[in-house]
């Protein structure tokens, strides 16, 4: 079992009592035997495959569902390990007058399964953003992410978070084989 590293961002010093809603997401670092990693690309933004936890769903169930929805890959007996959790406390989240706690769980998924978009179930935002899954060599992914920052204002936050996940993966990857 890998110890999960936790990172907390709480710039507004919110307490649990201040939180109006909690959103939980799961994201996957899907790494194949060629040492390539899977990224989703949509709206000039790269992200690791993943998404929101649904009611009565475990973190693992969420992750497997989201991987299938975004790549068409059906993982049955894949070895998956959670390794990092990033929590954001956001005051007046996106000017909604609600304070939100976002929890993002990162998993390592070792798999050589190929994308099969015939089985993907993209949501409307992904379809409108021309979502595609891609694989890139893991030793090039950091530069690809950094180079994407000017392409979309949201990339500044997303890329920072992804780089944190990659940094932690680099520390533990030898224990994940």
Query: How many structural domains does the chain have?
Result: 1
Among 2-6, 26-30, 75-79, 110-114, top mean pLDDT goes to: 26-30
Distance CA 58, CA 23 (A): 14
Residue predicted with more confidence, 112 or 82: 112
Distance CA 31, CA 114 (A): 11
Q: pLDDT tier at 177 (50, 70, 90 boundaries)?
A: low
Question: What CATH code is carried by the domain that includes residue 151?
Answer: 3.90.79.10
User: Nearest Cα to 158, choosing from 144, 169, 171?
Assistant: 144
Measured torsion, CA atoms of residues 48, 52, 56, 58, in degrees rounded to the nearest 10:
20
- Indicate if the pLDDT at residue 113 is higher than 70: yes
User: Nearest Cα to 81, choosing from 108, 105, 53, 110?
Assistant: 108
DSSP string, 31-66: E-TTSEEEEEEETTEEE-SEEEPPTT--HHHHHHHH
Distance CA 148, CA 140 (A): 13
The residue range of the domain holding 34 is 5-176
């Amino acid at each position: 079992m890998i110890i999960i590293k936790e990172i907390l961002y709480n710039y507004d010093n919110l307490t649990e009592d201040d939180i109006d809603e909690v959103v939980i997401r799961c994201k996957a670092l899907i790494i194949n035997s060629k040492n390539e990693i899977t990224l989703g690309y949509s709206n000039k933004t790269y992200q690791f495959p993943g998404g929101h936890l649904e009611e009565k769903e475990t973190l693992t169930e969420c992750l497997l569902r989201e991987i299938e929805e975004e790549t068409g890959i059906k993982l049955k007996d894949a070895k998956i390990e959670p390794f990092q959790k990033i929590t954001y406390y956001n005051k007046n989240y996106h000017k909604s007058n609600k304070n939100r706690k976002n929890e993002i769980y990162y998993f390592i998924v070792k798999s050589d399964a190929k994308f099969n978009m015939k089985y993907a179930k993209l949501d409307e935002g992904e379809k409108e953003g021309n979502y595609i899954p891609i694989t890139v060599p893991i030793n090039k992914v950091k530069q690809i992410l950094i180079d994407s920052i000017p392409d979309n204002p949201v990339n500044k936050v997303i890329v920072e978070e992804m780089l944190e996940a990659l940094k932690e993966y680099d520390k533990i990857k030898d224990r994940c084989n």
